[in-house]
Amino acid sequence: MAQKLKAYLQLCRPANLPTAAADILAGLAISGVFYQLGPWQFPFLYSWRPILLVLSSIFLYAGGVTLNDVFDADLDAVERPERPIPRGSVSLKQAQILGYSLLSLGVILAFLAQSVCGIVAIALATAILSYDKYAKHHPFIGPLIMGVCRGLNLLMGILYLNTLEHWPYTLIPVAFIFAITMISRGEVHGNNTTNIVIAAGLYALVISAIVGLHYTFAKYSWWYLIFVMLFAIMVYLPLLKAYKINSPENIKKAVKSGVIAIIILDAAFAVAYTNIIFGLLVLLLLPLSIFLAKRFAVT
């Protein structure tokens, strides 16, 4: 029973789930809900709806990565036999049921939190399925759709107060995840230095966009610059190593660091619209993600 549960958890990529939660927390902060309540009054203390939105994001992410393994079952049998489905720990049918159930639950919870967030959740679930089944096989469309998924996840939080004023923030995770997805295309065979160079440029663009958007919209705090510097260190150091020694192992480490660093990116968003305390609370998801990454695969 314990082995079965572990196999189901492996399908859901537990280390990645805190990054999905961080997106929602950042989106809620950008929406202004925390600022309206005051620096020490968080909506979780006054309403269960933000909690449902966080859970919605987690379930949507878990369902998406589970179904990704479902659609990749034949390929994984050759390239990644250690995954739960090819090694026989979870049947293809069981994984399908789990994946679609998680996606459906994610959409339902989003509607319960806020109707417009539910609509975005439907769009996100559609984008997830399109990536899992079709888009990931295309060298440009695949990374783009993956980035759009992350942008829609952030948008769910931003739209919590029914305002689109800060929608440009959704473009940042689109570019960032596009870069990470391009890097990940060398995880099995290596030899992707060109993609790494492009990703390095996109990372620089992301950092510039954060500073530009915060300067335009967020007038409350400059503490976010500390988070931006931490983000830059976390994504560039393993990327440089993967460029120098372009092995599958180093590429996986660069991808892993990039995925986990999303939490720092979200903390930078959050602190600019709230305060250093809330930024640090979001950042606490980072050690949780790192802890889980030592026990479960990130990709």
Q: How confident is the model at residue 27 (pLDDT cuts 50, 70, 90)?
A: very high
Give the pLDDT confidence score for residue 41 in this predicted structure.
54
Give the pLDDT confidence score for residue 61 in this predicted structure.
98
Whole-number Cα distances in Å, 40 to 36, 111, 224: 11, 27, 18
pLDDT digits (tens, 9 = 90+) for 45-71: 557 899 999 999 999 999 999 999 999
Structure tokens at 279: 């930024």
Name, of 3-12, 99-108, 190-199, the range with top average pLDDT. Answer: 99-108
Give the pLDDT confidence score for residue 98 in this predicted structure.
97
Give the pLDDT confidence score for residue 38 in this predicted structure.
53
Would you call 279 helix, strand, or coil by DSSP?
A: helix
Give the pLDDT confidence score for residue 216 in this predicted structure.
83
CA-based end-to-end distance of the chain: 24
- Listed residue (78, 192, 70, 86) closest to 131, CA to CA: 70
DSSP class of residue 38 equals: -
Would you call 277 helix, strand, or coil by DSSP?
A: helix
Q: Lowest-pLDDT range, 76-90, 92-106, 217-231? A: 217-231
Give the pLDDT confidence score for residue 35 in this predicted structure.
63
Name, of 99-113, 210-224, 279-293, the range with top average pLDDT. Answer: 99-113
If you search the block for the tokens 């479902």, which residue do you land on? 70
Q: What is the mean pLDDT of residues 273-298?
A: 89
Would you call 275 helix, strand, or coil by DSSP?
A: coil
pLDDT digits (tens, 9 = 90+) for 125-173: 999 999 999 999 888 899 999 999 999 999 999 999 888 889 999 999 9
DSSP class of residue 136 equals: G
- Rounded Cα distance between 227 and 240, Å, is 20
| Mean pLDDT computed over every residue of the chain | 90
Structure tokens at 188: 């099995």
Q: Mark 6-31 as b/e (b = at least 16 C-beta within 10 Å).
A: ebbbbbbbbbbbbbbbbbbbbbbbbb
Residue 43 predicted with pLDDT over 60: no
- Listed residue (33, 288, 289, 281) closest to 156, CA to CA: 33
Residue 13 predicted with pLDDT over 90: yes
- Listed residue (88, 17, 9) closest to 54, CA to CA: 17
Burial of 63 (0-12, 13-18, 19+ CB in 10 A): buried
Give the pLDDT confidence score for residue 209 in this predicted structure.
93
Give the pLDDT confidence score for residue 58 in this predicted structure.
98
Give the pLDDT confidence score for residue 139 in this predicted structure.
85
Structure tokens at 52: 């449902």
Give the pLDDT confidence score for residue 291 in this predicted structure.
94
pTM score = 0.91
pLDDT digits (tens, 9 = 90+) for 175-234: 999 999 888 876 656 677 888 999 999 999 999 999 998 888 876 567 889 999 999 999
Give the pLDDT confidence score for residue 285 in this predicted structure.
96
Q: Which residues contact 172 (CB under 8 A, 6 or more apart)?
A: 151, 206, 209, 210, 213, 265
Answer for the pair 180, 199: CB distance below 8 angstroms, yes or no: yes
Q: How many residues does the chain have?
A: 299
**How much of the chain, in percent, has pLDDT values that exceed 70?**
93
